[in-house]
């Protein structure tokens, strides 16, 4: 009934003066405005300001030529690499275990391992203070056990622990998803051919997980490179790149240098992710 009550369909959109194509353009307009005004334009400005200091364009070289910045860069890269390696190792062991066994309490363990996913870096820093700070659990336990209070939250070890806290939940989710997609037939075949559990892991399971390692490892690395909140909360004289950028900007008012270092940091983080995608892109699609 209602169908007949409607006006006879004409050439839909055209009749109302708005073609499908122009509607699509209209749909993209807000995105274009927001991206241009609040991302692309500021990024161009950042690159220009980076070259506007006393040293001009060579500010961009300072990140590797000036000993202080170079040492910071090396520190940051090493810390990020250590975080990535440790998170991957931990997530693989725990992930394989959780995906291969069903036991009471498993769901609780999974929930506990992924719960901190939404914690901002500042909160992670506070977690490390509660664990290894001046009033922390580790200090409390060690002073009772060995009579010496162990406090390391405000050192590079504390920062490493914080980055680990931050990246374990993210890495474990990716790796568990990858393990779920593994083909059990391959393992069975390897076992039938006489491979022991160690050989199965080394020759079958781990190689199949490489794309997940590359993808989640790159994200962990890029995040650790740029992490600011955790370092800020643990605030000691730990020289990592984001902290140096922050002090250059606020304390030294060396805005050009802060901009140049930010561009460098952004490039490293972006390159890492782009590289991992070009390495895994095809493989992941094939596995999915």
Under rule CB under 8 A, which residues in 176-215 are in contact with another protein? none
Q: Closest distance between another protein and the C-beta of residue 110, in Å?
A: 9
Query: Is 133 buried (19+), middle (13-18) or exposed (0-12) by CB count in 10 A?
Result: buried
State which residue, 8 or 193, has the beta carbon closest to another protein.
8
Q: Find the largest Cα–Cα distance for the chain.
A: 89
Q: How far is the CB of 235 from another protein (least distance, A)?
A: 7
Token pair of 61, please?
């070289």
Helix, strand, coil abundance in the chain, percent, nearest 5: 80, 0, 20
CA distance 265 to 209: 29
From the list 155, 139, 135, the residue with the least C-alpha distance to 147 is 139
CA separation for the pair 20, 14 (Å, rounded): 8
Please, which of residues 132-161 interact with another protein by CB under 8 A?
A: 135, 137
Q: Which of 190, 200, 208, 259 binds another protein (CB under 8 A)?
A: 259
Radius of gyration of the chain (CA): 26
Q: In this chain, which stretch among 63-71, 125-133, 185-193, 202-210 interacts with another protein, using CB under 8 A? A: 125-133
Question: Which range in 54-62, 186-194, 203-211, 269-277 contacts another protein by CB under 8 A?
Answer: 269-277
The residue within the footprint of another protein, chosen from 5, 101, 185, 194 (CB under 8 A), is: 101
111's CB contacts (< 8 A; 6+ apart) are none
For another protein, the binding residues in 214-243 under the rule CB under 8 A are: 222, 225-229, 232-233, 235, 242
- From the list 250, 271, 270, 249, the residue with the least C-alpha distance to 259 is 249
Q: Does 12 bind another protein (CB under 8 A)?
A: yes
Instruction: Please report how close the Cβ of residue 186 comes to another protein at its closest, in angstroms.
Output: 21
Position 281 contacts another protein (CB under 8 A): no
Residue 63, judged by CB atoms within 10 A of its CB (0-12, 13-18, 19+), counts as buried
Measured distance CA(199)–CA(203) in Å, rounded: 6
**Binding flag, residue 127, another protein (CB under 8 A):** yes
Based on CB atoms, which residue is closest to another protein, 11 or 146? 11
Nearest to another protein of 111, 193 (CB atom): 111
For another protein, the closer of residues 123 and 210 by Cβ is 123
Question: Which residues inside 16-55 make contact with another protein, applying CB under 8 A?
Answer: 16, 18-20, 23-28, 30-31, 34-35, 38-43, 45-46, 49
Distance CA 221, CA 118 (A): 18
> Is residue 245 a contact residue for another protein (CB under 8 A)?
yes
């Amino acid at each position: 009934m209602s169908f007949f009550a409607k006006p006879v369909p004409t050439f839909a959109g055209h009749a109302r003066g708005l073609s499908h194509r122009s509607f699509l353009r209209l749909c993209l307009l807000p995105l274009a405005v927001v991206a241009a005004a609040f991302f692309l334009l500021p990024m161009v400005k950042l690159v220009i300001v980076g070259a506007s200091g006393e040293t001009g364009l060579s500010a961009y070289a300072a990140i590797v030529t000036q000993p202080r910045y170079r040492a910071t860069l090396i520190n940051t890269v090493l810390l990020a690499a250590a975080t990535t390696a440790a998170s991957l190792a931990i997530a693989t062991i725990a992930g394989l275990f959780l995906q291969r066994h069903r036991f009471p309490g498993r769901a609780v363990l999974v929930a506990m391992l992924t719960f901190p996913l939404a914690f901002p870096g500042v909160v992670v820093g506070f977690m490390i203070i509660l664990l290894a700070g001046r009033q922390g659990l580790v200090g409390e336990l060690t002073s009772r056990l060995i009579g010496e209070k162990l406090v390391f939250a405000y050192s590079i070890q504390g920062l490493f622990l914080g980055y680990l806290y931050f990246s374990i939940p993210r890495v474990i989710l990716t790796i568990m998803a990858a393990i779920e997609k593994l083909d059990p037939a391959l393992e069975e075949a390897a076992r039938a051919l006489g491979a022991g559990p160690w050989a199965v892991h080394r020759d079958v399971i781990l190689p199949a997980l490489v794309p997940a390692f590359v993808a989640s490892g790159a994200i962990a690395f890029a995040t650790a490179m740029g992490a600011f909140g955790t370092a800020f909360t643990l605030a000691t004289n730990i020289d990592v790149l984001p902290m140096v950028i922050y002090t250059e900007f606020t304390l030294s008012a060396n805005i050009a240098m802060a901009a140049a270092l930010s561009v460098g940091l952004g490039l490293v983080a972006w390159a890492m992710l782009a590289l991992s995608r070009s390495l895994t892109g095809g493989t992941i699609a094939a596995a999915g």
